[in-house]
Structure 1
Amino acid sequence: MTADPAAVGPGDAASQDSAFVRLWLGFATARVGVALALLILLAGASIAGTTPVSGWLLGMCVTYLAATLAVRLLARPARPGVAFDPQWVSSIGVDLLVFACLQYLQAGGIYYAPLFAVPVLMASVLGSTSLALGTAAAVALLLLAEAWLQALQSGDIAPHFVQAGLTGIGYFALAFLAHQLALRLEREEAAARRSRKVARMQVQVNQLVIDALAEGVLVVDAGGEVQAANPAARELLDAQATAGGEPLRLADRAAWAPLAAMARRTLETRQAQLSDLVLQQGDSPARHMYARTRLATADEPASDSLCVIFLQDLREMEARLRTEKLAAMGRMSTAVAHEIRNPLAAISQANELLEEELQEPAQRQLSALVRQNAQRLSQIVEEILDVARVQHQPIDPSQARLELDAAVRAHCQDWAAQTRSGERLQLVLAAPGLRVDFSPHHLRRILVNLLDNALRYASAAPDAIQVATAVGVEPTLTVWSDGAALEPAVERHLFEPFFSSESRSSGLGLYICRELCGRHGARIGYRRARAPSGDRREGNAFFVAFRTAGTSGTSAPFAKIAA
């Protein structure tokens, strides 16, 4: 037999179920039974007095029984297919020795030659080809030697040698056939192991893929019982795992009745179903879903078929479609911006040349209006082109690391000097020494954009705008202002491109901030919160959560930016 060490290694849980281990245990148990039967027969013959049995023969049988019991209880299966192993000596060798002694002595007047089948079969099934044929040859030689001894005593040679030769040939044939069957069993077992491994891997991969799907997947039988549900489906249905592992039933909740009806129609008509559903569960908001069904096995009877239901949240589908449309619009806007850029530059230059010749105030006012609107268009074009630059411009890792508090302080001072709003700005820097993975240039763009927005909506009171850093679960930068709360409709679309609550804004500022944060592994968000300085004023807070590049320090006192 070919060896497969991985399949039958000692202590391997999988080896306990292999055919080799079961065969080994069967042979070990059979040897114990043979030893016990020999002891009973010889002891019974000695007690009955029908045939004289020497005491040392009984002792040999007792010893043989003890040896077989020790092998059965203490030994472990060796690697199959080996030609020589100490375990084979302790089993096959002992069997040959004991059976040969009994056969030569004709103890109890019993013919013991058939017992040689046990070691021959054991060597053929569990050992190599050479071990199997070698054991059969040893049995044949022992029988021929026993026939020679009997011929010397009786003087009749032919009958004894013919009987021994035929028996030896029979054992050779038995060894060859048994070994071939064992080889076939080993090949089939190896193929079965490979098939089980492939099937187990396929099941694991399928389960992983299904669990990772954003689309909900339900497997329902004819009785409406949910046989399988991935996490997305449980979240959509607001169905957690039941206690005790009991399966879900679509009849358990009235809100799931449309799904149960779809599954029933699919199983009855054997046709796929498509439908838009509204699931209202208690006081929770209604969920609008797109559901489609498929039969898992089309050739099974209806009572044994399974219906697979795919669920998608319509809101998520609409969000993906909106994102795709915005991406397409962004590509188109970039192309249009490139085309506008050159004519716009020509208009601005011509207006500047014309403005030098104008003397009348009305004409100069019109020229200023042209200049202002040209500058506004130029800014919009640059912001649209910035989107493409942000998405495609590579980041140099060596220049994408900075000390957060020092960078924030420097950028805020520059901004305050340019806007002359130092009295309205307060810094609450609480992360000295902390380094984060972020480009200084990109941080400046984000901070200036957030400060410009805060200045637009903040009041004129001192400390109406506050910039804070903090170290917690993750380092954060917050730009807070005391402006009025945002409307829910505005808040939902804050970071979408081309969305703005003002007619004079391109709606790309916060979108660019989000893209820059995403490129550095950071995230940006909005919340209504109290002032970072500790007073009880409510305001609008835009925060950036960074990925750290170092360790944090202790907090620093508040600071005021002078104009």
Structure 2
Amino acid sequence: MLRDSASPFAPSWFSAAESTYADGQEQRIRSFVRLWRAFMRARVFIAAVLLALQMFVLVTHTGGPDWLVLVCTLHLGATLAVLIWSHPLQQGEPFHLQWLLTIGVDVLVFAVLQYVQQGSINYTPLFALPVLLASILGPLILALATAASVTLFLLGEAWLSAQLLSDVSTARLLQTGLTGTGFFLVALLANQLAMRLAREEAVAQSSQAAARTQAQVNELVIDSMSEGVLVVDTHGVVRNANPAAQAMLMGVTFPHAAQLLLSARPSWSGLFGLVQETFLLGQPLEADITIAHDEHTTHRLSARTRLTTQGGHGADLCVLFLEDLREVEARVRTEKLASMGRMSAAVAHEIRNPLSAITQANALLDEEVQGVGQKRLTHMINQNAQRLARIVDDILNVARALPSQSEAALTLPLDQTVRQITHEWTQQNQAQGVLGVHLHAPTAHVGFDPDHIRRLLVNLLDNAKRHASGTPSSIRVITQTAGNDRARLSVWSDGSPLEASVLRHLFEPFFSSESRSSGLGLYICRELCERYGAQIAYQRTRLDLREGNAFYATMRASGSRAPVQQSLSYPPGDSVPSRTLPDPLRPDDAPSTIR
């Protein structure tokens, strides 16, 4: 059962670390812009109040001159213009024309109102706005300069408004001095507080960015794991699943950004039961589960559960770890057979000495005997001794892990060599009528050791025989040219499609879909091809209206030219009727079908 990704359980591995905020720098800029806009709106509000006050004074004839209405009107227009059309300065920029249009205009207007005031109205508290604006949004030097200008104006205004050295003058100067001191303290403290808050915000955002980075690293690791990871709640809803787990549950058909319910499919009932039992017992469990995607594809999984807790109030989520048992078994086989390989290399070293002694003794014996039967025996001993020597050399070459490179080898006619090898294989395996041979590279010569190309083709034929249906022409061997310097050797069989889990490890050593196979056949084929500069690959193809599996090796060839259609050539005794194949694939054709 698929659930909409817009549900409250949207896919996210670390929801606590993935906040909706932007990164630290952008967040600081947005915070500064919001604070700037708040101050600009406060300026507009104060300007509107002052204009309303002057209009009231003008109507009631209880205040100063009429032109103060014009001053307040211009002040309101200036504040609106700055709010609408200006952009915030970079935080901490000391000197700019915009400071004059904001702080300078405010100080000037408030000074005019304070100087020409009549009656009991006192405009001194308004000077706190430009002081705070400079302290919070600007650097310390701008804040102190604003406080100093306000203090100097107040002192000058007090000195001019009262008789010097009188009691009134002394009191006003003292009051103005205290007010100026207060403005300086406000500027200093507000600036320090703003700087402290900015530092704390920067540290918090830096920590948040580090947490998000760590969460992204962890999520990348989880998404890249070959082991499946599921996060399941108590109702069996899959909150999160990494790509490996998605492939194990639904294969390559897993919908993007979809969520699952483990109880929705019968094939997932084993996982759902394991999760329920884990919640019931309150402890981690392990079990082997089999999931059937369809009639051809199954997964054997090793499942492990772990419980999470939320606030110490019991289990909240179950984390389910899934591992493909085939990969586990393959690793065990690899480690076991790697040890056997090292032992085989040691044994091969020990075989060399007695094998050399046998060869020398056989040569001496061959000089002494005269009978035809005895000569045949010594010749047989010599042939098998040479074969053992080649096997020993191959084992030692694999053990030494020689780099892949093109080796000096004989140049073999491809079609003739394939015809001979398939004829021998047909006779040995009694595959008359099952194997069809289609030769379309009569002029191609490939650089391959005869024994190695024999081993390559025989391994592919043995693999095809294990999976073919056994009906007439259920196995095909096809040769064809692929460009001017390439030839292709293909072995096709009408076997069933390979599972996706098998395809991932097709040419790896010790991996096989059959319990009785060592898993070395295709690996040896790949090693032999790489040794001679060839490439081997697999594809699902259609041939004569039948689907099948094709393994093809593309080899370097000399003397290749456009293929000439020829009748099918079968080993003696092959009962498959002759027919003509279509033109072979060109190198730039899509390798979807062998033609």
Alignment of 1:334-413 (within 5 A): 334-389=345-400, 391-393=401-403, 411-413=411-413
Shift of 1:508: 6.7
Shift of 1:370: 2.2
Match of 2:482 in 1: 470
Q: Deviations over 1:382-411 (max 9, x none)?
A: 22123235x33375xxx89xxxxxx99x93
- 151-160 vs 198-207, which moves further: 151-160
Give the structure with the higher percent helix: 1
CA 1:288–1:241 in structure 2 vs 1: closer, same or farther (change >3 Å)? Answer: closer
Aligned counterpart for 1:306 among listed residues 317, 328, 331: 317
For structure 1, the residue ranges without an aligned partner over 5 or more in a row are 1-10, 401-406, 432-439, 501-505, 549-553
Is the CA contact (8 Å cut-off) linking 1:429 and 1:469 kept in structure 2? no
CA 1:113–1:269 in structure 2 vs 1: closer, same or farther (change >3 Å)? Answer: farther
Aligned mates of 1:203, 1:178 — CA distance in 2: 37
Shift of 1:445: 8.8
CA 1:68–1:242 in structure 2 vs 1: closer, same or farther (change >3 Å)? Answer: farther
Alignment of 1:115-194 (within 5 A): 115-152=126-163, 156-194=168-206
Is the CA contact (8 Å cut-off) linking 1:476 and 1:544 kept in structure 2? no
Shift of 1:153: 8.8
Aligned counterpart for 2:551 among listed residues 542, 549, 561: 542
SS at match of 1:238: helix
Aligned counterpart for 1:315 among listed residues 305, 317, 326: 326
User: In structure 2, what residue type is equivalent to 1:558?
Assistant: V
CA 1:242–1:416 in structure 2 vs 1: closer, same or farther (change >3 Å)? Answer: closer
Aligned mates of 1:241, 1:422 — CA distance in 2: 43
Is the CA contact (8 Å cut-off) linking 1:530 and 1:539 kept in structure 2? yes
Aligned mates of 1:495, 1:241 — CA distance in 2: 26
Aligned counterpart for 1:203 among listed residues 199, 202, 215: 215
Aligned mates of 1:129, 1:521 — CA distance in 2: 74
Match of 1:272 in 2: 284
Q: Size of the alignment, in residue pairs?
A: 507
SS at match of 2:229: strand
Q: Deviations over 1:286-318 (max 9, x none)?
A: 432110011234753236x22111011212222
Match of 2:112 in 1: 101
Is the CA contact (8 Å cut-off) linking 1:498 and 1:508 kept in structure 2? yes
CA 1:346–1:290 in structure 2 vs 1: closer, same or farther (change >3 Å)? Answer: same
User: In structure 2, what residue type is equivalent to 1:411?
Assistant: T
Shift of 1:167: 0.4
Match of 2:562 in 1: 556
CA 1:241–1:169 in structure 2 vs 1: closer, same or farther (change >3 Å)? Answer: farther
Match of 1:42 in 2: 54
CA 1:444–1:85 in structure 2 vs 1: closer, same or farther (change >3 Å)? Answer: farther
CA 1:394–1:379 in structure 2 vs 1: closer, same or farther (change >3 Å)? Answer: closer
The percentage of aligned residue pairs carrying the same residue is 46
Q: Deviations over 1:528-555 (max 9, x none)?
A: 8688xxx999998532469x9xxxxx98
User: In structure 2, what residue type is equivalent to 1:50?
Assistant: T
SS at match of 2:87: coil
CA 1:269–1:150 in structure 2 vs 1: closer, same or farther (change >3 Å)? Answer: farther
TM, length-normalised to structure 1: 0.76
Q: What do you get for the CA RMSD once the two structures are aligned?
A: 4.6
User: In structure 2, what residue type is equivalent to 1:180?
Assistant: Q
User: In structure 1, what residue type is equivalent to 2:35?
Assistant: L
CA 1:557–1:241 in structure 2 vs 1: closer, same or farther (change >3 Å)? Answer: closer
TM, length-normalised to structure 2: 0.72
Alignment of 1:473-512 (within 5 A): 477-480=487-490, 510-512=522-524
SS at match of 1:392: coil
Shift of 1:448: 6.5
Is the CA contact (8 Å cut-off) linking 2:291 and 2:300 kept in structure 1? yes
Is the CA contact (8 Å cut-off) linking 2:414 and 2:441 kept in structure 1? no
CA 1:499–1:15 in structure 2 vs 1: closer, same or farther (change >3 Å)? Answer: closer
Is the CA contact (8 Å cut-off) linking 2:421 and 2:454 kept in structure 1? no
CA 1:499–1:39 in structure 2 vs 1: closer, same or farther (change >3 Å)? Answer: closer
Say whether residues 1:260 and 2:272 are aligned partners.
yes
Is the CA contact (8 Å cut-off) linking 1:294 and 1:307 kept in structure 2? yes
Aligned mates of 2:207, 2:370 — CA distance in 1: 93
SS at match of 2:91: coil
